[in-house]
Amino acid sequence: MARITCLHTAQSNVAVFDVALAAAALTGVTLHHEVRADLLAAAEREGGLTKQIAQRTAEALRCLCDGADVVLLTCSTLGPVAEIAADDASIPIIRVDAALAAEAVKDGGSVMVLCAVKTTVEPTRRLFEAAAQATGAEVSVCLVPGAWAAFKAGDRDRYLAMVARASDDAMRGGATRVALAQASMAEASNLLPAAQRPLTSPTVCLKAAATAAATVTSALRPDAPSVT
Residue 112 has pLDDT above 60, yes or no: yes
Give the separation between CA 167 and CA 145, rounded to whole angstroms. 13
Tell me whether residue 56 is in a domain: yes
Say yes or no: 185 and 155 in one domain.
yes
Q: pLDDT tens digits, residue range 139-196?
A: 999 999 999 999 999 999 999 999 999 999 999 999 999 999 999 999 999 999 999 9
List, in sequence order, every beta strand (DSSP E) within 10-133: 29-35, 70-73, 93-95, 110-115
pLDDT tens string 83-95:
999 998 989 999 9
Domain hosting 87: range is 2-96+203-220
Q: Establish if 226 belongs to a structural domain.
A: no
- Residue 22 has φ and ψ, to the nearest 5°, of -65, -40
For the full predicted model, state whether its pTM sits above 0.75. Answer: yes
Q: Are residues 90 and 17 in the same domain?
A: yes
Please check whether residue 42 lies inside any domain of the structure. Answer: yes
**Per the domain annotation, does 37 fall within a domain?**
yes
- Number of structural domains found in the chain: 2
Q: Are residues 135 and 178 in the same domain?
A: yes
Dihedral of the alpha carbons of 197, 202, 205, 210, in degrees to the nearest 10: -120
User: Does 105 share its domain with 75?
Assistant: no
Per-residue pLDDT band for 220 (boundaries 50, 70, 90) equals low
